Each structure stands twice: as C-alpha cells, then as structure tokens.
Chain A
C-alpha cells in the first residue's frame, strides 16, 4: 500500500479549498486561515489548519449515527483518530463516521422560506390530524 507524499503537502493544497463558513465561524484563527487560503499559500504558522471533517457517532448498537461536531485532520484515518480522541473517549460511541465537511451540501438561511414554511399551514400532513377510528386495537 504505497501512499505517495499524501499528507502535509496535500494539506496545503486542501487549505485552498473553500470551506463551509458556518463551520469555521467563531473559531479562533479562522479569519486568518481564510485570508491566507485566499492568497493560495500559507506558511508553517500555527494558523495553517488541516481540512475540516464532520463527525458522526453511533451511541449504541442499532442506533442512528448522530452528528456531534467536527475535527481537523489531514486525511480520513487522522480524522477518525481525532474524532475518537475528542468525542468518543468516555464511552459515548460504539461507531464513528467522519465525512469531509466540504462534501456536505447545506441549505442556506435564505432557503428557509421556500423549503420549510409551506409545511406550516398543511396540518393534514401530520398524522395527529387524523382521528384514529374507535375500535382500532393494537395501533
């Protein structure tokens, strides 16, 4: 399994990729890192961060994986290890998924109206709208 010069150099290239702004907002160094990646290259300073990965953990057997946060890592194995150390070292998980944040397609705040509002005035879309017939057992 030959992996060619895969990490640090690739990391620098990866830094130039756009990120989901909501995921770095409020993070120390985020502004500087973004400014640097806009210039295409960043020195070896402490602000040169690796790509971001979203972390999902499965709390128990058969349960759905739930989003719990994000980590920086140069590659998938690193992301998995970081996720384990940050989110799953006190028995919180029996499984972990990590997904590159850049692979997530997210709705925008301005989508909220067209996407979600129409649901408000159509109560018949909710099962609670319907009365259960008397006599129905084991429902």
Chain B
C-alpha cells in the first residue's frame, strides 16, 4: 500500500506519478498497434491517441520530477524505475489483445480520464490544472473515438459483438481500481489538488451505461475488482512491457539523438 508516501510534500509527486504512469503505459500499449491496425486510418488514429497519451505522460512526469526535487528527470522516471515503483492502474498494463479488447480497455479508460481531467482542470495546484486543461480536450476526442467503436463493434456483426462482449467481461474486474480511494488519493482530495477518485464513478457509470446500451453489450454484474497497481503490485505483464520500453534507455544511458 502507499501509506508511507502520504506526507503532504509527497502527495503531488505521488499523484502526478499516477497520472503519468497511467498514460505512459497505456500509450505504450496503444503504440503496439502501430503498423498492425485493422485499416490504415485506424492505425493512424490509434497512433495519434498513443502520442496524446505520451504527451500527457511527459507533462505529468515532469510535474512529478519537479515535486520530488531529487534531481530525477521525467525520462529517469519513465525509463529507470522498476515494476514495483510504477503506479499505473492494472487496466492499462494488460496486453493489447484483439481490437475489441483494445477498444474496450480504451473506452473504459477514456470515460474515466475525461472526467478526471475535467475535474483536475479546477485543481488548486496550477501545474496539474494546466496539464488537465490540455488533456481534457484530447480526452474528449478519445472518448468520442472509442465510444463510436464500441457501438460499431457491439452493434455490428455476430463476431464483433461476441468479441466485444468477451473483452468487456474480461476487463470489467479491472475497472473498479479507477475509483478506489487510498491515503494518497484522500490527501490529494483534501488538499484540493485533485478530485477524490470515488467521486468520478457516477459520471463514468453514466457514460458507460449509455454506450453499452447503444452497443447492445450487457454490463457485467460483477462488482469485485482487482487492485494493486497504485501501490506497485502489478500483473506479470507490466515487467515484460517495461523490459521492451526501457531497453534502449538502459542500454545507452544518457544517449541523445
């Protein structure tokens, strides 16, 4: 758990790390589609969204690095931390799966991120407010894109419907982690620098219910959720992702091109 990090001066570091890691890892997962998209235009769209997420990650990790004040850069945080030091949601580190799986995961995250960034743009912490004001515009497009695909796949052929329903069923247990509270989240909320995670659930539910209904996909009844990512307890998939993502930076530390 993250209790030991809850001292006030560390709250901004921890909170920005969460924002950065979610976007860094999801951006990397999405980038795996580059050159493999189902159609050229969608390949470009996924790469665009991956780049938006990486831009958001860079921004958030810069905030985290400055808040930490230990001389680490955003790149150091991205490329020289171990699995247990990452604070991303389990949802974003899962393998990309098939296209339906990628879309369902993206939609669940987008519907969360757009409301998080909307609330965060009113943060008392100017660095987070600035980051969120930029990200919320991108997120509005992301959720429009992924929601459109949810409806296309869910309300498409028998096969696309079945694949999307499977993906939704598989991923559902990872969605609850977005709305769990812990000491870092509570400290950030009480300091007025971020919305409390549980407060986002109602808005997320409204978006998800609307889109699932239009996609003719049934909402899983399961309300038992996986957790651990925020405290550094990850699935076995994150280590493999990091190995690939970090190899160049670690093989050639300080390299520039």
Interface residues of A (CB under 8 A from B): 1, 3-9, 49-50, 71-74, 77-78, 81-82, 84-86, 89
CB pair A6 B45 closer than 8 Å = no
Output the least CB separation between A24 and chain B (Å).
13
Cβ-defined partner of B151 (8 Å) among A3, A9, A85, A89:
A3
Cβ-defined partner of A8 (8 Å) among B39, B44, B48, B157:
B157
Cβ-defined partner of B45 (8 Å) among A4, A5, A8, A82:
A82
CB pair B41 A82 closer than 8 Å = yes
Q: Give bound CA distance, A84 to B151, whole Å.
A: 19
* Given A49-B39, A72-B39, also A78-B152 (CB < 8 A): yes
CB pair B160 A72 closer than 8 Å = no
1/0 per residue, CB under 8 A from A, across B34-76: the answer is 0000011110110010000000000000000000000000000
CB pair B42 A89 closer than 8 Å = no
CB pair A9 B157 closer than 8 Å = yes
Contacts of B160 in A (CB 8 A): 8
Known contacts A78-B148, A81-B145, A82-B44; can you find 11 more A-B pairs with CB under 8 A?
A: A1-B214, A3-B151, A5-B156, A7-B155, A71-B41, A72-B39, A72-B41, A85-B41, A85-B44, A85-B45, A86-B41
Contacts of B48 in A (CB 8 A): 85, 89
CB pair B155 A82 closer than 8 Å = no
Contacts of A50 in B (CB 8 A): 39
1/0 per residue, CB under 8 A from A, across B204-243: the answer is 0000000000100000000000000000000000000000
Q: Give bound CA distance, A71 to B45, whole Å.
A: 12
Most chain B CB neighbours (cut-off 10 Å) among A9, A71, A78:
A78
Contacts of A8 in B (CB 8 A): 152, 156-157, 160
Output the least CB separation between B155 and chain A (Å).
6
Contacts of A77 in B (CB 8 A): 148
Contacts of B134 in A (CB 8 A): none
1/0 per residue, CB under 8 A from A, across B136-170: the answer is 00000100110010011001110010000000000
Q: Give bound CA distance, A14 to B44, whole Å.
A: 23
Contacts of B45 in A (CB 8 A): 81-82, 85
Q: Give bound CA distance, A49 to B41, whole Å.
A: 11
* Given A50-B39, A71-B41, also A81-B155 (CB < 8 A): no
Output the least CB separation between A102 and chain B (Å).
18
Q: Give bound CA distance, A81 to B214, whole Å.
A: 19
**Residue in chain B with minimal CB distance to A53:** B41
Query: Which 6 pairs between the two chains have the least Cβ-Cβ distance?
Result: A82-B41, A8-B156, A85-B45, A7-B152, A8-B157, A7-B156
Contacts of B145 in A (CB 8 A): 81
Q: Give bound CA distance, A6 to B157, whole Å.
A: 9
Contacts of A9 in B (CB 8 A): 156-157
Q: Give bound CA distance, A80 to B144, whole Å.
A: 11
Q: Give bound CA distance, A3 to B150, whole Å.
A: 13
Cβ-defined partner of B155 (8 Å) among A6, A49, A78, A85:
A6
Contacts of A84 in B (CB 8 A): 141
Output the least CB separation between A29 and chain B (Å).
10
CB pair B41 A3 closer than 8 Å = no
Q: Can you sample 10 A-B contacts with CB below 8 Å?
A: A1-B214, A5-B156, A8-B156, A50-B39, A71-B41, A72-B41, A78-B148, A78-B152, A81-B148, A86-B41
Q: Give bound CA distance, A36 to B152, whole Å.
A: 23
**Residue in chain A with minimal CB distance to B152:** A7
